[in-house]
Amino acid sequence: MFEYICLFNRHTTPIMLDSFDTSMPVEAASAVSFDELSSKYDALLSFYSVRTNNVLHALEGDYPDRHAFLDAFVKMSRRDIRSLKNCGAKTVDEILAIQSILNPTHEGQNTDAPDFIPRSLPANIDTLLPLVMPRLEGLSVRAKNGIIIFLEENHNSLTEMYATFTNPKFDPVKMRNVGRTTAAEVMGVLNGIRDFMESFADEQSVEDAVTKFFTKTLDDLQIPADAQDEIHELENTLGHFF
């Protein structure tokens, strides 16, 4: 199912999902090639939601090192995962999917890897939210409210929203406040947002777009240049409002 899908870990080393050796028990793999197991874990994270990444990052912090964390993680039960802080049903499924790829021999796993893995986007893609929101202007009230609610249900994360609506099984009619007559209007906007997000090749291109957006906004408001400098300095210190 994952044949020929290429992943990239945080060091941009290409890994093929079909090259994941799922026949070797994790206990043996961790003893012989822990670095490989750790690399696979990092590669998989890039395909899952921000919430899942945050939950797993917090969990890893409870262990003295990566080795101890992975050794415990691949053996965790569904019940243990469900008890993690901020871990809802969607996050539980994603964590179990990661676990099943790393350790397919884990007894009681009772889950399959997801049938859809969204395209990997730059890690800072969520900072584009202020650039995306103007696309809602001009929509019908129902369509606009439907997309806003949809965004809120995905924790105001473009990454999570993108993963949801690019899934071939996604049905806009199932969105709250969206009926069949509004679905086409909603999908037109979502497809535009998809194309916009996929146009960014790396984190620097995202940062440049956000900087340009806020600079243009300040110019439009006719804020004095010296005041703009102070605002940009604050942005660099605290991040682009996110």
For 200, phi then psi, to 5°, come to -95, 120
Interatomic CA distance for residues 162 and 1, integer angstroms: 21
Where are any strands of DSSP class E within the chain?
A: 6-8, 14-16
Handedness of CA 148, 151, 157, 162 (dihedral sign): negative
Residue 69 is encoded by which pair of tokens?
């964390």
Handedness of CA 91, 95, 96, 101 (dihedral sign): positive
Contact 206, 200 (CB under 8 A): yes
Rg over CA atoms, the chain: 21
DSSP category for residue 62: T
**pLDDT given at position 204:** 93
Interatomic CA distance for residues 128 and 192, integer angstroms: 14
Per-residue pLDDT of the chain (242 residues; tens, 9 = 90+): 333 333 333 333 333 334 444 344 444 343 437 788 888 888 778 777 888 889 999 999 999 999 999 999 988 888 899 899 888 888 888 888 888 888 877 654 444 445 566 778 888 999 999 999 999 998 999 999 999 999 998 888 998 889 888 887 788 888 888 888 889 999 999 999 999 999 998 999 999 999 888 887 655 655 566 665 665 666 566 554 44
Q: Which residues fall within 8 angstroms of residue 53, CB to CB, at 6 or more apart?
A: 45
The residue type found at 69 is F
DSSP category for residue 106: -
